[in-house]
Structure 1
Amino acid sequence: MPADKRGLDAPEGEPPFKRLTHIATTTINTATMSDERVIATLKHPRVESGFLGSPFSAPPTFQQPTPLCSFSFDENRKVWQDDRCKRFYRGPPPYNNRHPQQGRAPPVFGADLNYGLDRYVRRDDSVPEHLDALVTALQHRTEAATSETERNELDQERRRADVVTWRGIITKICTAYDQSPEARFADPLELNAMMLDGTLYLEEYASASAMAEKQKKEDDPKMKRMGYYGYSFESYCTVDDEAQTHEPFRPTRRKESALPDPPGWSGDVNTNVQWCQVVKTKLGDNRLVIGGEVDAVERNKSTGREEMVELKTSMQMTPFHRNFGKALSDQERFEKKLLKFFLQSYLLGIGKIVVGFRDFHGLLTTHQEFETLRIPRMVRAGQPIAGRMDHAGKAVIRQDSVWEPKDSLGFGDQILSFIRKTIATHTTSSLRANATEQIKETAASGNVNHPVFRITYKPPFERVEMRTLSENEIIEEVQDSGRSGERVGFLPRSFYDFVQSRAAAAAAAAAAAAAGSTQP
């Protein structure tokens, strides 16, 4: 596949995909590490180089994401290998409601994002899901084929992948470059990793204390409401059937209620329900197969193709002419948030992001569409700052970039390569060293032991660390003490057996082809 032509700009006069000029190095020094099981560290480029400038001249190569398959989670969190939960983008309802706070707010507002909060159904995050839905979709894609030849062809995408994981994990890896211990909401990285048949699998890890803290925040009434607004916006903007995208906005009535739902409301929020897309792409030297939730699709009028849409909400921004200090703070907050918006969509191949801006009351005041590929320009040095004028009425030009995709993607590429190389070496040596014991264990109990590693990147965000997990840690922290079914590492045993069988089939096919080519 050719390199992505979607154009993250290289500096003037330089090739668009020039390789890195400064590489953060791997340091292995267990004598100075707090945990003797730490096997390698990767320093942040700024720590390694000792200067504040960017160590990357241009982003690594990135290939246009190509869809492989899709699947759905229903309201009971059951997985279906189809598109039953796909939604279609219609847009928010009109802004024609009189605002309750006249004089201190826009005279009218659109959707009330508080609506339906009392009927909000949240997914139970305490139930570990691992990569099960993603790898099951890949397995189903192969096994649903009607011939062995077709199965071999389809499974090539999985077998060629260097990394299989969720889109959210790659996003966190790529935002690692810009993490700061001073940030209001620092986002540490903690992952479980294992390698199977040459492919690296990554899942997020959360300790019991981290899960408890997360649950506490989500149960806080204010935080619950803030989190709900994004889902509410999705309900107002999307419909189940594409034909409904052309229908006028009107109140709808639920069977169990005498009162109608507001115009545009398409159903109460249940976060168990998701539609997920699985794509293949390539970041630098790493072939990726990633899965991620897609909020909606819409029909491109020119091509007739369905195109994915990402929906977000954010606090409205204060105009500069009203309160300069507050406007500056709002702008900085939103522009930093745009990095995550951009990466989430860019990695999955989503071309449009729709952001609904709300006020403190949870009332939608406006919305704006962003073309994913144009977002980096908005925060780049030399570009005008949106909404900010000087005394002469001219647009103020930005002096420094807020963030650069070449840094995010460049360090993300380094992290993935670092993890792959290290784990490949240690997995091979571990499996060879324990081969005899493993044969006995499998024969006696049917269990398969497999090395699992923990990757961490925490404040002060100076280095990525990797360590091996003990057998007890794997059982208790990775395999949930057996509560989530039979597993090899953190992968379902059924998927492990599938991978082994496909590897054997591929080897047999290659041997047969080689034998055939030697025949006179």
Structure 2
Amino acid sequence: MGSTEQEVFCVQSWLARDQGRRARPIEILRPQQVGCWTKESVKSATQAGQYSYGSKNGLMEFASPQLPQDLNEGYPEAFERKPEDEGTPVETIIRGAMHSSTLSNLGPRQQQQQQQCFEQQHARGLIQGADVVTFRNNLNKICGTPLSPRDGWVVEACMHNNTLFLDISKSEQASFPDADRFNYYGYKFESLCTAVPPQGSEIDGGGRPEAPTTSRGHPIVDSTSEYAILVKVKLGQQSILMAAEVDCVDPAAQSVAPGSTSSGGSPATPMAPYLELKTYKIPDHPGQRKTLYSQKYPKWWLQSFLAGVPELILGGRDNKGFLKEVQRIPVQELPSAAEKAGHKWDAWKLLRFGEDVLGWMQSVSRLHPGQALRFEYKPDQGRISWSARHGDDTLAQRLQQILPN
């Protein structure tokens, strides 16, 4: 890899140029859900760890938990952790886009075009209209760089048939005391806030199976199952097909099924009922208060905004891990709430940065079509660089197998 200015993206230079663009919004089109899937728990007797495309079995309903609650209950024996070697390849999104449940959400003309593409083995459809195909995790890292300039990241990429595919790359994370326990707190809060799957789900009888417990009777806190949505979103000039995990659904909100139509006859999007669940430590002093509003709030905003999730359920805990308060806040109010608390941040800056970085990544990748690349942000250098990847089982080889020319 060369080292000229054209071959790297200088973060500090971008931030300096962006000072004059403060609070300037970019064009955003409301995310539209086009598909979904459930990843089954590793404890499933018949489908352990498998993806059930089109299934809503993993979508739980929100129920307000009783207070107070001890988030330490059951730890560590009740914690079903995700396998350390588990990956979520971008092929998951491709299979979701190709599944019949996703195709049924398209209009008749689009379905006809999709079928023709299948016959030609191009598997285009939704992918064909996307500049970028990725999991939300990658966009969180990229767009969040101005917020956390000391946190490095790595993203694997490949330009295939003029679409940039981004794969999640697990980088070494900084460890801190009790990280596993705090991770458990988050999943424990989710388990306390979720009741039964929505009516009409595919679980027999419409009810949730009896939750498994430990030998001591503590409910298992399972982090290995999930419900994910597949959405189309426009970030400035970038058309993105993105997958994102959703925590639960509000049973009181009016749900619109994917594929149904509004009075105008266009496909409706069922985003209104979705909720994100987050835990935080109730601030004891100004430093913790600043961290909550200037770090956690923008991260929560970015994560939810990208997927079109409209509301957050925030669980506040004390130093001992006891859940003391639960509040509900619209995602769009997070910036103003932080500003009122004296910790203003520019939400649009995160999106402007993401749009520009994605555009640069596309420019680089177009010069190396069909080649596996790695994009890496190194905080000590203050820049994003790229390198070519070689060897077996690269992203380029995997895309060639699932999306042949």
Cα separation, 2, equivalents of 1:257 and 1:466 = 47
Cα separation, 1, equivalents of 2:142 and 2:306 = 12
Cα separation, 1, equivalents of 2:14 and 2:24 = 19
| Aligned CA distance change for structure 1 residues 79 and 31 (closer, same or farther; 3 Å) | closer
Give 1:375's match in structure 2, choosing from 334, 340, 345.
334
Match of 2:179, as an amino acid? M
Give 1:123's match in structure 2, choosing from 61, 82, 87.
82
Cα separation, 2, equivalents of 1:66 and 1:51 = 32
Cα separation, 2, equivalents of 1:131 and 1:413 = 20
Instruction: Give the unaligned 5+ runs of structure 2.
Output: 42-47, 116-123, 200-208, 257-269
Counterpart residue number, 1:489: 396
1:281 Cα deviation from its structure 2 partner = 0.7
1:312 Cα deviation from its structure 2 partner = 0.6
Deviations 1:452-507 (A, max 9, x none): 111111213622212222x23xx2xxx2xxxxxxx76263554223xx4xxxxxxx
Match of 1:230, as an amino acid? G
Match of 1:342, as an amino acid? W
| Aligned CA distance change for structure 1 residues 254 and 453 (closer, same or farther; 3 Å) | closer
Match of 2:166, as an amino acid? L
Give 1:114's match in structure 2, choosing from 72, 76, 90.
72
Q: Residue 159 in 1 paired to residue 159 in 2?
A: no
Conservation of the 8 A alpha-carbon contact between 1:309 and 1:354: yes
Counterpart residue number, 2:371: 451
Conservation of the 8 A alpha-carbon contact between 2:82 and 2:224: yes
RMSD: 3.0
Conservation of the 8 A alpha-carbon contact between 1:40 and 1:467: no
Match of 2:63, as an amino acid? R
1:415 Cα deviation from its structure 2 partner = 0.3
Cα separation, 1, equivalents of 2:213 and 2:333 = 45
Highest RCO, 1 vs 2 (Cα 8 Å, sep ≥ 6): 2
Q: Residue 79 in 1 paired to residue 61 in 2?
A: no
Q: Residue 363 in 1 paired to residue 322 in 2?
A: yes
**Secondary structure at 2:290's aligned position in 1?**
helix
Give 2:91's match in structure 1, choosing from 132, 135, 159.
132
1:364 Cα deviation from its structure 2 partner = 0.3
Conservation of the 8 A alpha-carbon contact between 2:232 and 2:242: yes
Conservation of the 8 A alpha-carbon contact between 1:139 and 1:495: no
Cα separation, 1, equivalents of 2:152 and 2:333 = 28
Deviations 1:236-292 (A, max 9, x none): 00022347xxxxxxxx9878678766xxxxx52221100000100100000011001
Counterpart residue number, 2:159: 195
| Aligned CA distance change for structure 1 residues 122 and 285 (closer, same or farther; 3 Å) | same
Conservation of the 8 A alpha-carbon contact between 1:60 and 1:406: yes
TM-score (ref. length: structure 1): 0.64
Conservation of the 8 A alpha-carbon contact between 1:130 and 1:491: no
Match of 1:269, as an amino acid? V
Cα separation, 2, equivalents of 1:32 and 1:301 = 53
Q: Residue 412 in 1 paired to residue 351 in 2?
A: no
Deviations 1:28-67 (A, max 9, x none): x93669xxxxx711122x4257579354451211110000
Counterpart residue number, 1:88: 61
| Aligned CA distance change for structure 1 residues 257 and 77 (closer, same or farther; 3 Å) | closer
Cα separation, 1, equivalents of 2:367 and 2:212 = 60
Match of 1:365, as an amino acid? K
Deviations 1:198-236 (A, max 9, x none): 1100112236xx2xx67xx49x7x221111000000000
Conservation of the 8 A alpha-carbon contact between 1:453 and 1:467: yes
Conservation of the 8 A alpha-carbon contact between 2:255 and 2:273: no
**Secondary structure at 1:338's aligned position in 2?**
helix
Give 2:245's match in structure 1, choosing from 293, 315, 322.
293
Same amino acid, percent of matched pairs: 21
Counterpart residue number, 1:43: 10
Conservation of the 8 A alpha-carbon contact between 2:23 and 2:347: no
Match of 2:127, as an amino acid? R
1:156 Cα deviation from its structure 2 partner = 3.2
1:310 Cα deviation from its structure 2 partner = 0.2
Match of 1:42, as an amino acid? F
Alignment of 1:316-335 (within 5 A): 316-318=282-284, 326=285, 328-335=286-293
Alignment of 1:178-257 (within 5 A): 178-181=147-150, 187-206=151-170, 210=172, 217=175, 222-242=178-198
Cα separation, 1, equivalents of 2:228 and 2:211 = 27
Counterpart residue number, 1:342: 301
Instruction: Give the unaligned 5+ runs of structure 1.
Output: 1-28, 34-38, 96-109, 182-186, 244-251, 262-266, 319-325, 386-397, 428-449, 480-486, 501-520
1:418 Cα deviation from its structure 2 partner = 0.7
Cα separation, 2, equivalents of 1:191 and 1:70 = 24
Conservation of the 8 A alpha-carbon contact between 2:35 and 2:102: no
